[in-house]
Amino acid sequence: MSSNFFGPDFQALQGQDPEIAAILISELDRQRQNLQLIASENFTSSAVLAALGSTLSNKYAEGYPGKRYYGGCEEVDKAEVIGVARAKELFGAEHANLQPHSGASANVAVYQAFAKPGDTVLAMSLPHGGHLTHGSKVNFSGKWFNVESYGVRQADELIDYGELLETAKRVRPKMICSGATAYPRLIDFKRIREICDEVGAIMWVDAAHFIGLVAGKAIPSPVPYADVVSFTTHKVLRGPRGGMILSKAAHAAAIDKAIFPGMQGGPIMSAVAAKAVALKECQQSSYQAYAKQVIENAKALASALESEGMRAVSGGTDTHLALIDIRGTGMNGKVADERCGRSGITLNKNAIPFDPESPAVASGIRVGTPAVTTQGMGVEQMPIIGNLIARAIRDGEDEGKCAQIRSEVHALTAKFPVYPG
């Protein structure tokens, strides 16, 4: 355990607030020792963490570069200008906004830019993998908008574009959202564009999960087709926790106004600078190799779990995540999640399409490979991980067996050190 990873300022924190300093150390240990298989998590670089932990955090910069409401923005302006230019270049986008505090905040801005309360929006159904901001009744989206949904076909668990078109013609949405939190397959953005054009809807892609794969040129990009693409910067993209929006030039003013003054005050300039750092990392060929490896690993992990008697929803994956129907093990998602947690394997329970269980119990788990791939694991490690997961689910009730699995997990992660030094 090396406390010097945090740099010289960490000593000041330790002196002043040992309670919080100890948590930073034990969380670093947790991240290093356990297997991190949450599909939406990653290990960001030390360079990104340095920008995040910088004095840019002190600066108020309401507005946009050159048009701020406060003085003293010359330096932070440069960081935002560089970040916006990098985003436009990396994604071939006409406009980029780096200020959203999170993926959910970016989505609030998209609704605000293109719809009025009460308007109809069409998005992926939550039980089939959509996000809370795609119309959940407990979320602003479901409270303030009339969100209709489309889903996957029962037969092959793929998006039913025919049903999507029929629903779009019936409900005439202002906007159609594609993108999800638990859909392992590629989305046909050309097809979605055609459907949007047929009904005169704005094409919104919530690319939070897979944008990093697009950045690494490992999967096709929605940017040429979409009016607007919102996403998080901390998932496969491996940047700081935060959000971003890309759009066509025609929508630039609407997006910028929706973020500020529409729904945010001052941007978190340390995070904006950290996004710029992450975007530069994404331009490197090593990142492109990483993005391809993430997908290879996810495919290998899905097939490893299949050989352990579980079923990959839709038969596999084209992305960084797999949704696994674990009913073959006799366990439900809730039990599997708890048992894996006790065994040092961090993943999440997840509903599968047409799940007979409630979302709190669920029949599946979701696994993702962004973090283990950043650690340097490859396809050779995936059968080992698949076996550890299967044993944790089967035997995780027994504390002795749990401890054995935990020690094997720690032996594996020790070979792939996170934040070494």
Ligand X SMILES: *Cc1c(COP(=O)(O)O)cnc(C)c1O
Which residue's CB is nearer to ligand X, number 148 or number 206? Answer: 206
Q: Which of residues 22-51 bind ligand X (CB under 6 A)?
A: 40
Dihedral, CA of residue 104, residue 105, residue 111 and residue 113, to nearest 10? -150
Instruction: Fill in the per-residue mask, 98 to 117: x = in contact with ligand X (CB under 6 A), - = not in contact.
Output: ----xxx--x----------
Task: Based on the shown chain and the rule CB under 6 A, indicate whether residue 141 belongs to the binding site for ligand X.
Answer: no
Annotated catalytic residue, options 60, 306, 334, 357: 60
Shortest distance, CB of residue 129 to ligand X, whole angstroms?
9
What is the DSSP secondary-structure string of 236-300? TT---S-EEEEE-GGGHHHHHHIIIIII-SS--HHHHHHHHHHHHHHTSHHHHHHHHHHHHHHHH
List the one residue from 77, 80, 160, 206 that touches ligand X (CB under 6 A).
206
Residue nearest to ligand X (CB): 103
Q: Which of residues 353-372 bind ligand X (CB under 6 A)?
A: none
Give the range of 1-9, 177-185, 190-198, 245-253 binding ligand X by CB under 6 A: 177-185
Distance CA 75, CA 72 (A): 8
Give the range of 113-121, 206-214, 262-270, 379-387 binding ligand X by CB under 6 A: 206-214
DSSP 64: E
Which residue's CB is nearer to ligand X, number 133 or number 373? Answer: 133
Shortest distance, CB of residue 180 to ligand X, whole angstroms?
6
Annotated catalytic residue, options 153, 191, 217, 241: 241
Give the range of 115-123, 173-181, 258-266, 292-300 binding ligand X by CB under 6 A: 173-181
Distance CA 103, CA 325 (A): 27
Instruction: Fill in the per-residue mask, 207 to 246: x = in contact with ligand X (CB under 6 A), - = not in contact.
Output: -xx----------------------x----------x---
- Residue 220: strand, helix, or coil: coil
Which residue's CB is nearer to ligand X, number 143 or number 415? Answer: 143
Residues 236, 237, 241, 246: is their CA dihedral positive or negative? negative
Rounded to 5°, angle at Cα 234 from 230 and 239: 105
Number of other CB atoms surrounding residue 307 within 10 Å: 11
Which residue's CB is nearer to ligand X, number 195 or number 208? Answer: 208
Annotated catalytic residue, options 44, 232, 319, 329: 232
Buried (b) or exposed (e) across 108-122, using 16+ Cβ within 10 A? Answer: bbbbbbbbeeeebbb
Task: Based on the shown chain and the rule CB under 6 A, indicate whether residue 133 belongs to the binding site for ligand X.
Answer: yes
Helix (H) or strand (E) segment spanning residue 119: none
Q: Respond yes or no: is residue 235 known to be catalytic.
A: yes
Residue whose entry in the numeric block shows the structure tokens 């200020």? 99
Q: Respond yes or no: is residue 349 known to be catalytic.
A: no
First to last CA, the chain: 9
Q: Respond yes or no: is residue 62 known to be catalytic.
A: yes
Distance CA 21, CA 2 (A): 13
Chain residues that interact with ligand X, rule: CB under 6 A: 40, 102-104, 107, 131, 133, 179-181, 206, 208-209, 232, 243
Annotated active-site positions, please?
60, 62, 206, 232, 235, 241
